[in-house]
Structure 1
Amino acid sequence: MSNFTTRPEIRGTFGVATSTHWIASAVGMSILEKGGNAFDAAVATAFTLQIVEPHLNGPAGDMPAIFHSVKTGKTEVLCAQGVAPAAATVEHYTDQDLTLIPGSGLLATVVPGAFDGWLLMLRDHGTMELRDVLQPTIDYARDGHPILPRVANTIAGLAEYFAEHWPSSAEVWTPESTAPLPHSLFKNPDLAATYDRLADAKGDTREARIDAARKEWREGFVADAIFDYLKTAKVMDVSDKAHSAVLAPSDMAEWEATYEDTLTYDYHGWTVHKTHAWSQGPVLLQALAILKGIDLAAMDPNGAEFTHTVIEAMKLAYADREAYYGDPAHSDIPMEYLLSDAYNDERRKLISKEASHEQRPGRVPGFEHLADKYIERAARDFNIGPVANQEPTMSHLTEKRGDTVHLDIIDRWGNMVAATPSGGWLQSNPVIPGLGFPLNSRAQMFWLEHGLPTSLAPKRRPRTTLTPSLAEKDGTRVVFGTPGGDQQDQWQLIWFLRFVHFENELQACMDAPLFHTMHFQGSFFPREVKTAEMMIEPNVGEEVIADLRARGHVVTVAEPWTVGRLTAALREPEGMMRAAATPRLMQAYAVGR
């Protein structure tokens, strides 16, 4: 791999912060400089990302984090993925002539999760007051920040829609009835006021003040504003019809973020930690289990053989995702079987010299009906209606689709956080009047048919695409992740394989050409399947692209430097730290010293 990198790999001993926007990374670093730990810094970074990337995440979105605490000695998952409302039944949706949950609007809303998750992390693992970590966010929302061209373009593209259908969004995103110009100073005074008020929550201790803010969100003025609006709101969504919400006050009042164990897999000396099957996280582990028996190190990491082999492994892992994953609190997920050596020895044999054009979920004893259901589902044509709101299969397709943000932070003590917040996009739902933010659209992950782990059901977590990572070996730990919907675990897998087998440089592995497959069923409305289709960056060279086409892959060559939005941070046992961020889209940045 090339010695040249687009930017230096950040190295230091004090702390590192990397995220998908330079302002957020700088805010995270400023918290470390003030004596805060990685958890304080992660919370401040995350709230800042809501302001500077509002087309990619918001307060009412969702958030999984994987973190390592020096104090507890444990690596855990924080699950801030809200559940389906109690009234969200399949029948409620099918009675409205829907075959898919719309990709935007009030029917697509689950319980908002991100805000409570971040406050739970701050309360239990942070050291700072809520006011101190929220102040940068309040300042940027009140006084303005230079708006990204991508955000400005997204708003411009939706300005007429907002004016006609979502007037509360028009008030926030097109003040004075015009979309903001790229790089102009953009303000969201309503959101600043919301956070200012939450930061003033009273209590006798730091923890009590944070809990008071959580309660204010769930049952106080935030919930009041949401449900005052939802009482009469009936809004247009991507189904081209207006619908009302199913979210109720009790849904918000009764839900809280939680901690759980990670799911792990050992690969070439590295233990990789992921979320459980309520997210797509285990697909990365399944892909590693398939690839473990193949000599990847003997291949060119930018060559056709490596690309083909990894794509075919991902197709197999993603077919299992679609057949078997869902909320383990509601469904029996055969994860032990899916990660077993015997199972993956058989799966590996399915990788041939040719690109597969079939959907091939594995046959898990007792669960065969789910494999059959997936094959049947994938054969249907779900390409209906306008595609207005989903995480993109490729970064440059359209700026109206929502996506995600990511952050990785490590402090001088060795605490570390990887988190992938998403949802609550400016294009997912109308802004709640007076609050300055919209609800999420995560329910579009569910199916409107019974008997699946991903069937819509009350209080069930949607099988989300959000999937941060932490890996460790001999005391070295690395946190990493990326936005990108169904591509998140694909880009992370490719980066991790290059890191493990070829090049221990975080930045070099990130700068190398990326690719992904779109062969499986997409997680976002309209749930497309693109048989044997893949995308790859052009700098692999024409020979590699021709070779892949000769093997039967349907190859789309991406625009240069458009695939993947990875960031990563690493700490060695003696305290040396490193961090990196993708140059793609020209906004992610790593800082540290």
Structure 2
Amino acid sequence: MKRLTLLFCSILLMVSHSYAQSFNVRPQGTQKPPLHGRHWMAVTGKPLAATAGAMTFQKGGNAIDAACAMLAATCTMWDVLSWGGETQALIYNPKTGKVIAINALGVAPTGATPEFYKSKGMQYPPEFGPLAAVTPGTPGGLCTMLAEYGTLSLKEVLAPAMQMAEGYPIEAQTANSIERNKALIKEWPYSKAVFLPHIGKDREAPSAGEVFKQNDLLQTLQKLVDAEQQALKKGKNRKEAIYAAYDRFYKGDIAKEFVRGCKEQGGLITEQDLATWKVKIEEPVSVNYKGIEVYKLQQWTQGPAMLQALNILENFDLKSMGYNSAKYIHTLYQSMNLAFADRDFYYGDPAFSPEEPIKGLLSKDYAKARAKEINWERNNGKASPGDPYPFEGKVNPFTDLVKNWSQASLSPVSNTIDEEYLSDFKMGTTSVEAADKDGWVVSITPSGGWVPACIAGKTGVGMSQRMQSFVLDAKQNPFNVLEPGKRPRVTLTPGMALKNGKPFLSFAVQGGDSQDQDLLQCFLNVVEFGMTIQEAVEAANIVSYQMRSSFGNHESKPGAVTLNTQTPNYVMKELRKMGYSIDLDERTAGPINAIYFDWEHGTFWGGSSNHGEDYGIGW
């Protein structure tokens, strides 16, 4: 009997070991081929936009020029943003060996106060319409990146977008989104005129493949080019001429029409709001993960949450757990719980008081303390913000708010993932990745002004919907309370990593609150599990919904998780025992766009997820 028992135990151990080892095997094959390039790489959310990047490289442009061309094209295609949205970028400058951060996020307009929105019976600023708009940031962000780090003229870079504004064959994804949202679009006269060319017919939106024309937007882009060209004729240099276009958008006739159209429809943005807004060129934040420097934008984004999660995860042997084993998924989920609880309470615009404790939040010692809070038996559905202040030698001024934080939420708490909630949680955007042989690297996560967008007058420019990411009550987050001139804490979060002082990975993704979850796992897929970049962007991610959503009603769903349909039953069974509520999806990886730098061979590897319509071209 003892021999049989020992034999059974031995077999069980061998099978268990086999299962564990299987998780460490890289995925076999990918649905999309990896991209390879020696001279340049251009990856973004739509094939036509990637083509705009390739066209710009072929003109002799660098990665900044190509990225700006792709940004302009995606805005013109409403994928899933417009010209009135916001642009966030990380740029590697090979001349200095430094990573630069671009902050082109708009600010709350004059009159936008908690009292104003509460007087309208709102718990948060609205999801759509003119009262959802911060000032437009993308035109300024594009001009700034191009002027400071590009080589081509604005006229050359905007040429593909202007051709598209004249008319391009619209793809099904955007066309169908317009049709689904046409009832809301009809509330805004300028949006109705642009988006619904077939009013009165069964289908009022364009059909897939139909030539979609935007004459108002074309005129706006032409005005920017005219401003640049006129400045050049007056003897201004390339940089000064591009900034002349910048000024025409924010201080000239475009600004006047934008404000007129905004106010006509009930919005708050003033000419002074536009004239005083500025793009910021900033220092990014970073942490070192096992010898790799990982960079993110500052705490006006959710980006540092990924860095916090990496600091926590560095305390564990993830590889030995096995890729997407129950223990690995639990460790990821709990680490993200802690990082995102800190995000939900401590992140906000650093230009306004109180000052965020970012040094403490990114401290390795703070991460070790947070790691000790993990319950290895069950999900902690009440994960709360920690106290980073002692880790930068200070006393927390918000101890009482932290203590009562879990009761301060105004939004419902459940673990049911319905279609409306999922749409809010993964509120769309796009991403732009570019690199060139001279060493320039760009990672952008632009957004805002997505369909259904309220278009401001005859500009053709859809207004941002980013106001909804503010809170109106300091009990929820004292750093992110709405205030005129303030930037909301956004989800938008490009990523970049250096190894041995050289670019290692440039990566970004669309998807609202899921962005840093996807990018965290993509990074770990490469670093811990040895995946190629295409394998990493297609791999079976998990998605947590336990953090407070940055959109809509800011809901939280403790223990709710989306797993890939290929997840083994025994893994799901173990997770359910630990308190997880599981939802399944066939594709859970993003869509992530990324570039990996192969220094051994002097080439680029491009990765574009199989999740959506993202596409890349390399040479």
**TM-score, with structure 1 as normaliser:** 0.92
Alpha-carbon distance, 1:258 to partner: 1.1
Partner of 1:308: 330
Alpha-carbon distance, 1:501 to partner: 0.7
Contact 1:302 1:512 in 2 (8 A): no
Partner of 2:173: 150
- SS of aligned partner of 1:539: coil
C-alpha distance after superposition, 1:230-251 (max 9, x if no partner): 3432xxxxxxxxxx22211100
Counterpart CA distance in 2 for 1:118 and 1:338 is 31
> Is residue 435 of structure 2 the alignment partner of residue 403 of structure 1?
no
Partner of 2:357: 334
Evaluate the alpha carbon distance shift between residue 317 and residue 590 of structure 1 in structure 2; reply closer, same or farther with a 3 A threshold: same
Counterpart CA distance in 2 for 1:279 and 1:495 is 19
Alpha-carbon distance, 1:124 to partner: 0.6
- SS of aligned partner of 1:392: helix
Partner of 1:486: 513
Match of 2:440 among 412, 415, 419: 415
Partner of 1:392: 423
- SS of aligned partner of 1:183: coil
Mapping of residues 53-132 of structure 1, within 5 Å: 54=78, 56-132=80-156
Counterpart CA distance in 1 for 2:531 and 2:498 is 14
Count of aligned pairs between the two proteins: 568
- SS of aligned partner of 2:443: strand
Match of 2:206 among 169, 175, 180: 180
C-alpha distance after superposition, 1:146-190 (max 9, x if no partner): 322221111111223323x12221110011312111233222222
Partner of 1:3: 28
Partner of 1:399: none
- SS of aligned partner of 2:459: coil
Partner of 1:589: 615
Runs of 4+ in 1 over 6 A off after TM superposition: 387-391
Counterpart CA distance in 2 for 1:407 and 1:389 is 27
Partner of 2:405: 374
Mapping of residues 160-199 of structure 1, within 5 Å: 160-163=183-186, 165-177=187-199, 178-199=204-225
Contact 2:134 2:465 in 1 (8 A): yes
- SS of aligned partner of 2:163: helix
Alpha-carbon distance, 1:299 to partner: 2.0
> Is residue 260 of structure 2 the alignment partner of residue 228 of structure 1?
yes
Evaluate the alpha carbon distance shift between residue 4 and residue 380 of structure 1 in structure 2; reply closer, same or farther with a 3 A threshold: closer
% identical aligned pairs = 31
> Is residue 54 of structure 2 the alignment partner of residue 34 of structure 1?
no
Q: Structure 2: which amino acid aligns with 1:45?
A: M
Alpha-carbon distance, 1:380 to partner: 4.7
Evaluate the alpha carbon distance shift between residue 92 and residue 382 of structure 1 in structure 2; reply closer, same or farther with a 3 A threshold: farther
Structure 1 gaps of 5+ residues are 234-243, 396-401
Contact 1:391 1:524 in 2 (8 A): no
Q: Structure 2: which amino acid aligns with 1:381?
A: P
Match of 1:17 among 26, 42, 66: 42
Contact 1:382 1:526 in 2 (8 A): no
Partner of 1:467: 493
Counterpart CA distance in 1 for 2:313 and 2:180 is 42
Evaluate the alpha carbon distance shift between residue 540 and residue 358 of structure 1 in structure 2; reply closer, same or farther with a 3 A threshold: same
Counterpart CA distance in 1 for 2:549 and 2:405 is 12
Q: Structure 2: which amino acid aligns with 1:217?
A: F
> Is residue 165 of structure 2 the alignment partner of residue 138 of structure 1?
no
Contact 1:393 1:484 in 2 (8 A): no
CA RMSD of aligned residues (A): 2.0
**TM-score, with structure 2 as normaliser:** 0.88
Segment drifting more, 73-82 vs 370-379: 370-379
Alpha-carbon distance, 1:291 to partner: 0.4
> Is residue 612 of structure 2 the alignment partner of residue 580 of structure 1?
no
Counterpart CA distance in 1 for 2:157 and 2:282 is 25
Evaluate the alpha carbon distance shift between residue 389 and residue 2 of structure 1 in structure 2; reply closer, same or farther with a 3 A threshold: closer
Alpha-carbon distance, 1:354 to partner: 1.4
Structure 2 gaps of 5+ residues are 1-25, 389-394
Mapping of residues 229-268 of structure 1, within 5 Å: 229-233=261-265, 244-268=266-290
> Is residue 583 of structure 2 the alignment partner of residue 568 of structure 1?
no
Partner of 1:237: none
Evaluate the alpha carbon distance shift between residue 562 and residue 294 of structure 1 in structure 2; reply closer, same or farther with a 3 A threshold: closer
Partner of 2:23: none
Partner of 1:540: 567
Evaluate the alpha carbon distance shift between residue 87 and residue 388 of structure 1 in structure 2; reply closer, same or farther with a 3 A threshold: farther
Match of 1:455 among 481, 488, 492: 481
Q: Structure 2: which amino acid aligns with 1:435?
A: T
Counterpart CA distance in 2 for 1:278 and 1:576 is 34
Partner of 1:240: none
C-alpha distance after superposition, 1:433-456 (max 9, x if no partner): 321122111111111124710100
Evaluate the alpha carbon distance shift between residue 183 and residue 301 of structure 1 in structure 2; reply closer, same or farther with a 3 A threshold: farther
Partner of 1:524: 551
Alpha-carbon distance, 1:379 to partner: 6.7
C-alpha distance after superposition, 1:306-363 (max 9, x if no partner): 1111011101100000111111111311111122222211211222131111132113
C-alpha distance after superposition, 1:475-514 (max 9, x if no partner): 2421101000000000000111111011141011112111
Alpha-carbon distance, 1:563 to partner: 4.6
Counterpart CA distance in 1 for 2:506 and 2:430 is 15
Segment drifting more, 272-281 vs 330-339: 330-339
Counterpart CA distance in 2 for 1:44 and 1:187 is 19
Partner of 1:241: none
Larger Rg, first or second structure (1 or 2):
2
Partner of 2:70: 45
Q: Structure 2: which amino acid aligns with 1:28?
A: G
Contact 1:359 1:520 in 2 (8 A): no
- SS of aligned partner of 1:526: coil
Contact 2:259 2:456 in 1 (8 A): no
Mapping of residues 492-531 of structure 1, within 5 Å: 492-531=519-558
